[in-house]
Amino acid sequence: MVRIPAAPATLPAASAAVPLPGWDPGWSRLVPIRTADGTRTLHVLDTAAVLAEDGLEPDGTILAVHGNPTWSYLWRSLAQATVEQARAGGPVWRLVAPDQLDMGFSERLAHPVLPRPDGLDDAGYRTLGGRLTDLDALVSALGLDTAARSGHPLLTLGHDWGGVVSLGWAGRNEELVAGAMSLNTAVHHRTSAALPAPLRAALAGPLLPGSTVLTDAFLRVTTALGHPPLAPELKAAYHAPYGSAARRGGIGGFVADIPVGPHHASHPELQRASSALAGFGKPALLLWGPRDPVFLDTYLADLLQRLPQADLHRFETAGHLLAEDVDVAEPILAWAGQLLRGEARDRAAAVAERADRGGWDAAGNRPLWSFLDDWRGRPEPALVDMAGPDRTPLGWDRLAAVVDAIATGLADHGVRPGDRISMMVTPGRDLTAALYAALKIGAVVVVADAGLGIAGMTRAVRAARPDWVIGQVPGLAVARSQNWPGRRLSVQTLPAPLARALGVQDSLYRMALAHDGQRFTGAPAPDDPAAILYTSGSTGPAKGVLYTHGRLAALAGLLRDVFDVRPGSSLLAGFAPFALLGPAIGATSITPDMSVTRPASLTATAVAEATRAGGATILFASPAALRNVVATADRLTGQDRAELGRIGLVLSAGAPVHPHLMRQVTALLPHAQFHSPYGMTEALLLADIDGQTVLDLDDPETRDTGEPAIDDGVCVGRAVGPVRLAVAPLGADGASAETLLEGPEAAGVLGEVVISAPHQKAGYDRLWRTDSRSKRDTHDGATWHRTQDVGHLDAAGRLWIEGRLQHVVTTPEGPVAPGGPEARIDTLPAVSRSAVVGVGPQGTQAVVAVVEAAPHPGARMPRPGLAPTDLTDAVRRAAAPVPVAAVLVTDRVPVDIRHNSKIDRTRLAAWAEGVLSGGRVGRP
C-alpha cells in the first residue's frame, strides 16, 4: 500500500495567493508535545503573546478544539474578541486553540493514502483516544493544568468532532475544568439509528478516500454549509492547509475514526467519554445551529440529558458552521464572564432545591388546576364551546372529573413531571381538559400558535423538542408529515388504520372513559416549569417563553383582581390564553365560533350566539376581531342586539385600538366599559387604559391637562396591580442604557420600556443569550424584563408606546422613534397607513416616511415610488417636528397577517433605500 511520510508542522503564512482574513500572525506558535507515539509538534492559536505585549495578565484560559475539516482559523473571531475585551478593561481570557495533529498546520502523520471506513486501520490514523492523549500533552506542555490547580479558571470549547474531544477531555479532567462549552457536536449515537446522510455518504467504501483525501470534495462540501454562504476568501482560508492529497490525510482519517458501531476502534473511548459527561457537574454552555445536516437535534437532546445543568442557546437561522453563521464570541464571553464573577448557576442544583421545597410558596398561591375541585357542584357551566361539534355546556363537576381521568391516563401511559407536551388542539373544551390534566401531572405544555404557519410551528416544536404530541387529526397530520419529535396521542379515539398512519398510541377520550371517577393529586411547585408559549414571530423566529406554575397563578390573580373576572363571571374569549385561564378563576369560559388562526373571522352574530349560550358578561378580542364584529353588525337581529346588551366589559389587546373603532364597539355594546390592556407573550397584562381616557386623549379639548396633545405614540395607560414600569434611555446610537428611570424622573424620556411583574416570563426557552440580555436585576431585588418596545412615561404616569427598539432611526440630531410621527401622518385623509424608517449609515440616518395611499372612488392610486409633491408637503407638516427627508408612496405597507398591525419596517427600510438610490421600483 502506498504510504505518505510524515510532514513537519508549519506556521500559516498569509500570502497574496491565500490570505487569511481576520488572522493575526502574532497568535501563531509551534508547540512540541510528548504524546503516546513520541514527540509531535502542533500549530497552536495562542493569544498569550499578544496579551503580554499589552501588559495584560490572563484571568482564565479558554481551550478550544476545532473539528473536521476545519482548523484553528475557526476561532479567529473569538480570539479577536478576547483581545478587544481585555484591551477595553474587561475580563482577560487567554485563548488556546490547537490545530489537531494531522490537521491544519500541525505535523502530519505517516499513513496510507486510502483509509478504511471500518476504523480498524492501525497504521497511523489518530483515534479518539489518541486525540484525547494529544490534548493531555498540550495542556501539560503549556502548564494549563498547573495553572488550573492554582485557581486559574480553565474552560473547554469544541465544535464538530472537536466537541467530542473537548467534552470528553473535560469529563475525564473535571477537577481541572471550571466549565465546558460546545458548538454543534455529538457524544453518543445509538447503534440502531442510521448515521446522518452526509456521513453515510462519506463513509461509503471507496467514497471515503476519494472524497476526503484524493480530492477536496469533503472540504468543499463542508465550507459550503454556511448560512449565509461563506465568502470566497474565507473558503480559501479554510482550504489553505489542505492543498494536496498529502496534506489531506488527516481529513480522511478523521472521517474514518467516526465510530459506526461496537466493532470500531474508537467506540469504547466514545462510550467512556459520553458516560463521563453524564456525571459532569460543572457549568456548561451549548450553542446550537439547528440547520445542520450532520449534528441533528437528536444529538442535542442527548447532550441535554447528559448535561441537565447546561445553558443552551439555539440560533434558529444557523447551521453546521455556527461560528461563521453568527457571532458566537459574544455569548461565549458573556457566559465566561458570568462564570468568572461567580454568577453561573448550577441548574441541576436549582432543580434539586425546588424539589426539596415540596409545596407552594408562603403567599398561598396554587396551581391553575387546583381550583377545579373547589367548584364541584356549582350550577353555572364551566365551558361552552361554540367552535366544536358539541355545544352542550360542560359543568364544573364534569370538567373536574375529566381532567382527573385524563391526568390518570397520561400518567399511566408514561407522562412524567417535566415531560414536554406539544398541544395541537384548537381552543375549546378538549384543549382546556388536556391542558389542565397536563399541568396537574407537572408536565410542561408547549403551545406553538397555528398563526406561525407550518414552517414556523415546525421550527418552534423542534426547538422545544417535546416528549409528547397531543393533537386532533389536522395537527397530528402536520406532526407526522414534518417528522416532529415526540410520542403521539390523539384527542378523539381514531379508527385503527388512521391511528397507525398518524403514529398515534392512544387517545384522551379513551383515557377519560377508562379512568372515569379516579382522582389525581398533583404536586408541582411554584417554580416548576408549566408552559412554553411561542411569540408571534413577527420580528424574527418565534421565541419560546417559559412560564412557571407560580407565574401563571399570578396572571390569573391579576385578571381576577384588576378586571374583576371573578367566580360567576362569564368570559367570551377570542384570545385563547385568557379562555384557558377561566377555570382557574371560576369564570365560565366561552369559545366563540371563529378560526383561531384568523381573529378577523369573529362575526357579530358569533358573539351574540356565544353570549346567548354562555351568558357572557366579558368579551376579550383583538382589534382585528372587533373590526369584523363591527363590520358584520348589520346581520344582527333584534334578539341578537339584546343579547349583546349583557356584556359589561370589553377587553382588547394585541395591537392599539383606534378611537374610532372604540366608539363603534361601545355603540354596539351600550352597557360595556372598554379597556385596552397592554402586554406581550412575555407578560400578558402590564398596563391598561379605559375607553374614556382614549377618547379624551383623542380630543384635545377634553384632555385632562387642557392642553393640546403633545405626547408621541399610542397611550396604553397606567401599570396594573403590582406591575412596575420604567424606561432605559436611548443613546445617540439607538441602544438603551443600563440605567433605569422610574416614576417622575422618567417623565418625557424616550427609552426602551422595561417592566417588572410577578407574572412575567421565567425566561426564554433554550435561548440563553436572549434571556440573559432581556433580564436586569436591581439592588431592590426586582427582576426586570427589557421589552424592546420604545416609548415614554408622561407626567401622569401613563405609558406611551412609540415603536420597537430595532426600528429606531438614528439621526445626527439623536434617536427618533417611529410611532409618534406615524400616528400624526395617519390622521391625513390621503393616508391609509404609514411607516417611518431610517435610510443610511447608523448615526447619520435620514428619516423617510412610507405611506400607503388611501383609496378614493374614481381616483387612480399613485405608482410606488416618490410621493407627489402635495402629499409630500402634507406628510412633512404632519410629522413635524421630526424632519422627514423623503416621502415614498406605495399601495401596500406590509403588516403581519395575524394582527394586521405590526408593520415590517425592516423590509420597508430596504425598499426605501433601493428606491432612493435609483434602483428598480416595485412593491415593498
Q: Give the model confidence (pLDDT) of 181-230 as tens digits.
A: 999 999 987 766 666 667 666 665 666 777 888 899 999 999 999 999 99
Q: What pLDDT does 194 receive? A: 66
The 3-state DSSP class for residue 343 equals: coil
Cis peptide preceding 881, ω within 30 of 0: yes
701 vs 709: CA distance, rounded Å: 9
CB 636 within 8 A of CB 608: yes
**pTM for the model:** 0.89
* pLDDT at residue 358 tops 70: no
Helix (H) or strand (E) run with residue 144 in it: helix 144-149
725 vs 711: CA distance, rounded Å: 17
Q: What pLDDT does 585 receive? A: 83
129 vs 62: CA distance, rounded Å: 22
* pLDDT at residue 573 tops 90: no
Per-residue cell: 805: 427598539
Paired residues of 793 in beta bridges: 747, 799
For residue 835, CA distances in Å to 790, 825, 880, 883 come to 15, 9, 15, 14
Q: What pLDDT does 781 receive? A: 82
Q: What pLDDT does 344 receive? A: 59
- Domain residue ranges of the chain, discontinuous segments joined by +: 3-14+22-340, 359-548, 709-805, 810-916
- If you average pLDDT over each of 221-235, 347-361, 764-778, which comes out highest? 221-235
Q: What pLDDT does 464 receive? A: 94
CB 599 within 8 A of CB 621: yes
- If you average pLDDT over each of 10-14, 95-99, 258-262, 449-453, which comes out highest? 95-99
Which residue pairs from 141-144 have beta carbons closer than 8 angstroms and sit at least 24 positions apart in sequence? 141/31, 141/32, 141/33, 141/34, 142/31, 142/46, 142/96, 144/61, 144/63, 144/96, 144/176
CB 60 within 8 A of CB 154: yes
751 vs 737: CA distance, rounded Å: 8
Q: What pLDDT does 112 receive? A: 60
Q: What's at 557, amino acid-wise?
A: G
Q: What pLDDT does 351 receive? A: 40
Question: What CATH number belongs to 810-916?
Answer: 3.30.300.30
What is the pLDDT averaged over residues 529-543? Answer: 84
Of the candidate ranges 251-255, 447-451, 883-887, 918-922, the one whose mean pLDDT is the lowest? 918-922
Between 349 and 708, where is the model more confident? 349
Q: What pLDDT does 901 receive? A: 58
Helix (H) or strand (E) run with residue 560 in it: helix 549-563
481 vs 499: CA distance, rounded Å: 14
What is the pLDDT averaged over residues 863-868? Answer: 87
- Comparing CA positions, the residue from 160, 125, 131, 133 lying closest to residue 253 is 125
What is the pLDDT averaged over residues 718-740? Answer: 93
Q: Give the model confidence (pLDDT) of 648-697 as tens digits.
A: 999 888 777 878 888 899 899 999 999 989 999 999 889 999 888 887 77
Q: What pLDDT does 353 receive? A: 42
Same fold, 359-548 and 810-916: no
Q: What pLDDT does 907 receive? A: 87
19 vs 241: CA distance, rounded Å: 12
- Comparing CA positions, the residue from 676, 627, 647, 680 lying closest to residue 787 is 680
User: Any residues with CB less than 8 A from the CB of 897 and at least 6 apart, and which?
Assistant: 451
Per-residue cell: 528: 416548576
For residue 539, CA distances in Å to 555, 678, 807 come to 25, 18, 10
Question: What CATH number belongs to 709-805?
Answer: 2.30.38.10
Phi, psi of 29 (to 5 degrees): -155, 155
Q: What pLDDT does 15 receive? A: 56
Q: What pLDDT does 281 receive? A: 93
CB 622 within 8 A of CB 591: no
Q: What pLDDT does 566 receive? A: 78
Between 117 and 357, where is the model more confident? 117
Which runs of E-coded beta strand occur in 535-582? 544-548, 570-573
- Comparing CA positions, the residue from 618, 645, 616 lying closest to residue 562 is 618
What is the pLDDT averaged over residues 630-642? Answer: 92
* pLDDT at residue 356 tops 50: no
* pLDDT at residue 643 tops 80: yes
Q: What pLDDT does 730 receive? A: 95
Q: Which residue has the cell 387517545?
A: 507
Q: What pLDDT does 121 receive? A: 47
* pLDDT at residue 2 tops 70: no
Q: What pLDDT does 390 receive? A: 83
Phi, psi of 625 (to 5 degrees): -65, -40
Q: Which residue has the cell 355545544?
A: 391
* pLDDT at residue 363 tops 60: no
490 vs 509: CA distance, rounded Å: 8
The 3-state DSSP class for residue 175 equals: coil
Q: Give the model confidence (pLDDT) of 547-570 as tens digits.
A: 999 999 999 888 888 887 877 788
What is the pLDDT averaged over residues 461-474? Answer: 95
Phi, psi of 141 (to 5 degrees): -60, -35
Of the candidate ranges 163-177, 476-490, 533-547, 834-848, the one whose mean pLDDT is the lowest? 533-547
Q: What pLDDT does 364 receive? A: 47
Domain 359-548, architecture per CATH = 3-Layer(aba) Sandwich (3.40)
Of the candidate ranges 144-148, 577-581, 720-724, 754-758, the one whose mean pLDDT is the lowest? 577-581
**CATH of region 3-14+22-340, choose from 1.10.10.10, 3.40.50.720, 3.40.50.1820, 1.20.58.1610:** 3.40.50.1820
- Comparing CA positions, the residue from 592, 105, 536, 667 lying closest to residue 386 is 592
Q: Give the model confidence (pLDDT) of 801-857 as tens digits.
A: 999 999 999 999 999 999 889 988 988 998 988 999 999 998 999 999 999 888 777
Q: What pLDDT does 888 receive? A: 92
Per-residue cell: 913: 433605500
Of the candidate ranges 53-57, 292-296, 454-458, 892-896, the one whose mean pLDDT is the lowest? 892-896
Banded pLDDT at 253 (limits 50, 70, 90): confident
Banded pLDDT at 349 (limits 50, 70, 90): very low
For residue 884, CA distances in Å to 92, 527, 727, 874 come to 45, 50, 26, 11
Kindly report the average pLDDT of the chain as a whole number.
87
Q: What pLDDT does 354 receive? A: 41
